[in-house]
């Protein structure tokens, strides 16, 4: 294995178990589009390194991945939504069919950097819904013992953004011990869980992306739209 190989990922797993059955139910007309967000600006950011490891797995599983670098993103309401970083973030959200949110836990919560990114994403951009009906996987890194505060908070936000937040999640304790100097994640049970989470994200994305508009279609919204149409007439 060379430095670009994925540790502990056996060749027979690269196609994802039961992928043939999955593709029969949800044909892969194009590569799933996954956006990855991370919640730290440190030079050696473990939430970014975890997201980068997730992206390698997603690419191996046939996905197209993109990252948003939060450096330079203003605080919500401290700049117009025409700010270049805000425009970039929203365009990436509209492009995506699924997302990965990876945050450190700081003071028992997700970081403000992570929350700022989410706060800049509206429920609707004109007729475009940048998050609704799209899949979401949440991950966190901790400096100490394993915790789930950040992933639990991100789950609440994912539901609020009307995203299909997958059941599995990743929480990496003592993250400084889990990555090689060059930034690759070491083989471990934590790494295996990341593989599990990304595999599940791909499955949910393939199964739901073609019907996402139907999944988020709501009676109350149809009723409101009908009332507006009647008023116009």
Residue whose entry in the numeric block shows the structure tokens 């007439």 = 233
How many Cα atoms are found within 13 Å in the side-chain-facing hemisphere of 141?
A: 25
- Reported as a single tens digit per residue, the pLDDT across 93-117 is 999 999 999 999 999 999 999 999 9
Band of pLDDT at residue 59, cut at 50, 70 and 90: very high
Q: Are 140 and 172 in contact (CB under 8 A)?
A: yes
Alpha-carbon Rg for the chain, nearest whole angstrom, is 19
Class of domain 13-232: alpha beta
Residue 11 above 80 pLDDT? no
- Reported as a single tens digit per residue, the pLDDT across 141-177 is 998 889 899 999 999 999 999 999 999 999 999 999 9
Instruction: Report CA 105 to chain centroid distance, whole Å.
Output: 17
User: Of the candidates 82, 30, 15, which has an alpha carbon nearest to the alpha carbon of residue 206?
Assistant: 30
pLDDT computed for residue 15 by the predictor:
53
Can you list the alpha helix ranges (DSSP code H) found in the chain?
A: 19-25, 46-60, 84-95, 112-119, 149-160, 189-208, 212-215, 219-232
């Amino acid at each position: 294995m060379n430095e670009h190989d994925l540790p502990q990922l056996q060749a027979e797993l690269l196609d994802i178990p039961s992928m043939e059955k999955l593709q029969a139910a949800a044909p892969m007309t194009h590569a799933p589009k996954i956006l990855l967000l991370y919640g730290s600006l440190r030079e050696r950011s473990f939430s970014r390194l975890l997201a980068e490891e997730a992206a390698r797995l997603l690419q191996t599983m046939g996905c197209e991945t993109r990252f948003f670098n939060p450096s330079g993103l203003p605080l919500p309401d401290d700049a117009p939504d025409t700010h270049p970083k805000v425009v970039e973030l929203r365009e990436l959200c509209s492009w995506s069919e699924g997302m990965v949110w990876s945050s450190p836990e700081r003071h028992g919560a997700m970081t403000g950097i992570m929350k700022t990114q989410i706060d800049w994403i509206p429920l609707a951009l004109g007729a475009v819904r940048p998050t609704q009906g799209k899949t979401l996987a949440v991950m966190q890194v901790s400096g100490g013992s394993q915790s789930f505060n950040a992933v639990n908070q991100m789950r609440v936000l994912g539901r609020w953004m009307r995203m299909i937040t997958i059941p599995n999640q990743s929480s990496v304790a003592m993250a400084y011990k889990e990555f090689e100097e060059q930034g690759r994640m070491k083989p471990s049970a934590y790494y295996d869980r990341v593989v599990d989470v990304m595999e599940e994200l791909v499955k949910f994305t393939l199964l739901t992306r073609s019907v996402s508009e139907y999944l988020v279609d709501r009676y109350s919204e149809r009723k409101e739209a009908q009332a507006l149409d009647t008023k116009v007439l």
